């Protein structure tokens, strides 16, 4: 399945996550409340799988530029940076796509 097809499927399955700030709040809550800093930078297959399951569709949407509206608000912008720069590391670990969002995250 291509990246565009995955994004389209994610929209159908989770339409509110593409435009609703609730998705951003879920990202921030997961990263700063549910996780511990040691989890952010260690390779753990179970953690990677959890992140892929919970946030894979949002990561795809972020990479496709479909969460650009999140850039307007501080908390949403932080969530977008996490999706593009950190969550990609777990979702695409071991693949070149793990770094696909880096340039956009720095902007």
- pLDDT by position in tens, the chain (length 107): 665 565 555 544 444 444 555 799 999 999 999 999 888 888 889 999 999 999 999 999 999 999 999 999 999 999 999 999 999 999 999 898 888 888 888 88
Cα separation, 90 vs 106, in Å, equals 18
Helix, strand, coil percentages in the chain from 3-state DSSP, rounded to 5: 80, 0, 20
Which of 103, 15, 26, 9 lies closest to 63 in space, CA to CA?
Answer: 103
**Predicted local distance difference test score (pLDDT) of residue 6:** 59
CB atoms within 10 A of CB 24: 22
Q: pTM (2 decimals)?
A: 0.76
CB within 8 Å of 85: residues ≥ 6 apart: 101, 102, 105
- Rounded to the nearest 10°, the torsion over CA 58, 91, 31, 77 is -40
**Predicted local distance difference test score (pLDDT) of residue 85:** 93
């Amino acid at each position: 399945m291509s990246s565009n097809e995955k994004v389209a499927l994610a929209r159908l399955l989770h339409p509110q996550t593409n435009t609703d700030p609730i998705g951003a709040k879920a990202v921030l809550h997961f990263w700063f409340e549910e996780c511990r800093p040691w989890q952010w930078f260690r390779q753990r297959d179970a953690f990677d799988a959890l992140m892929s399951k919970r946030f894979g569709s949002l990561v795809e949407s972020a990479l496709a530029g479909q969460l650009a509206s999140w850039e307007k608000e501080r908390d949403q912008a932080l969530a977008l940076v996490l999706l593009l720069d950190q969550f990609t590391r777990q979702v695409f670990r071991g693949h070149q796509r793990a770094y696909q969002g880096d340039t956009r995250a720095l902007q």
